[in-house]
Amino acid sequence: MMQIIYNGIDITASVQPTMVRITDYAGGRPDNLLLIFADSEGIWSNWKPAKNDTLQVKEAGFDTGVMFIDMISQSAGSFALAALSIPQSCKSARSQGWENVRLMEIATQIAARHGFSVQTYGIVNHLYERVDQQEEADFTFLAERCQLEGYAFKINNRSMVLYAEAMQEQKAPDSALAIIRQTEINGGFEFVDKSTDVYGKCIVQSQTPGGFIVGECSAPEINGPTLKRNTFATNHAEANRWAKGILRSYNKHAITGNMTVNLNTNYAAGITVRVIETGMFDGVFFVDRLTHDLINNQTKLLLRRPLEGY
């Protein structure tokens, strides 16, 4: 049975949801939840919901975690609430500088500022000579820092998760739960192998007090253009590492797929699945994002082919 929890109170018996849709991202963007209720008697107007109130949905072992109201809307006979996995405070731009600081020091400071915990999987706690956050929201800034390092940054249930994308992509799909056959797909499906915004090499250029630094990374088996970025790095190792991270951030969406299956809350963004019996694109894919529709009992998957070698 579905549970809808508002500001810590179970309100399931008091509402009639007509849409419950959860979108789960593997990283880079906050998860979101959209609830629409029948409201012909104006109950929600009397309850006076407000931005940053908390919302949570549970069903059969699935849990959105605590989310924060970001949008409120009303129309004839219905009321809608949209929530994000981040509170309103996370959207404020701020500036801060660090010297001789490690990645996890930055992450834990930001987490503490918003009352979040931190989890990490497969990351290296790199040391930076200098890092500057310049009029950016905390989580936007940290997501960009993670992108340079080839890490994903995800927020769920008041927790910040940093993980190595390449490591996660290489995990084998669960042979019992993560096999998708063509017969299990509702309607059509689509796979695309694109060339736009796919690069054979990335060069990072940095002007430092000690001289000009150039780092680079090449993508195996991709004969594409060269991407150049002027990004402040303090040494060659850093510039090379960031060239790899930037290249990965572009090329990871070279081969993508999308499809809808019957609701399966065992699927989550950040896992791998194996697609079979569809044709030339059969194989292992990484779930880049998905949407669970709890009313229509469907899960829409947006997939990407794992990168090899970087």
Q: 273 with 185, same domain?
A: yes
Closest to 23 in 3D by CA, of 61, 67, 71, 73: 67
Q: 179 with 222, same domain?
A: no
Per-residue DSSP letter, 61? T
- Confidence at residue 44, expressed as pLDDT on a 0 to 100 scale: 86
Both tokens of 110, joined, read 């930001």
Q: 96 with 161, same domain?
A: yes
Which pTM was predicted?
0.94
CA 232 – CA 2 distance, rounded (Å)? 49
CA 155 – CA 161 distance, rounded (Å)? 6
- Confidence at residue 211, expressed as pLDDT on a 0 to 100 scale: 85
- Per the CB < 8 A criterion, the answer to whether 93 and 118 are in contact is no
> Within 13 Å and on the Cβ side, how many CA atoms surround 197?
9
Whether 128 is covered by a domain: the verdict is yes
Q: Give CA separation, 309 vs 18, 167, 254, 275, 306, in Å.
A: 45, 11, 15, 22, 10
- Confidence at residue 89, expressed as pLDDT on a 0 to 100 scale: 86
Per-residue DSSP letter, 183? G
- Its domain, for residue 112, covers 89-167
How many structural domains is the chain composed of?
Answer: 4
Give the pLDDT means over successive 10-residue stretches in the chain (310 positions): 94 93 96 94 86 95 95 93 93 94 97 95 96 95 96 96 96 92 94 95 90 93 92 93 97 97 96 96 97 97 95
Task: Detail the DSSP E strand segments found in 8-92.
Answer: 9-10, 17-25, 32-38, 54-59, 62-63, 67-75, 78-84
- Confidence at residue 165, expressed as pLDDT on a 0 to 100 scale: 96
Spatial neighbors of 206 by CB under 8 A, at least 6 apart, are: 212, 213, 214, 215, 230, 231, 232, 233, 234, 239
Whether 151 is covered by a domain: the verdict is yes
Say how many C-beta atoms besides its own lie within 10 A of residue 191's C-beta. 18
- Which of 69, 85, 101 is where one domain is finished? 85
Q: 277 with 190, same domain?
A: yes
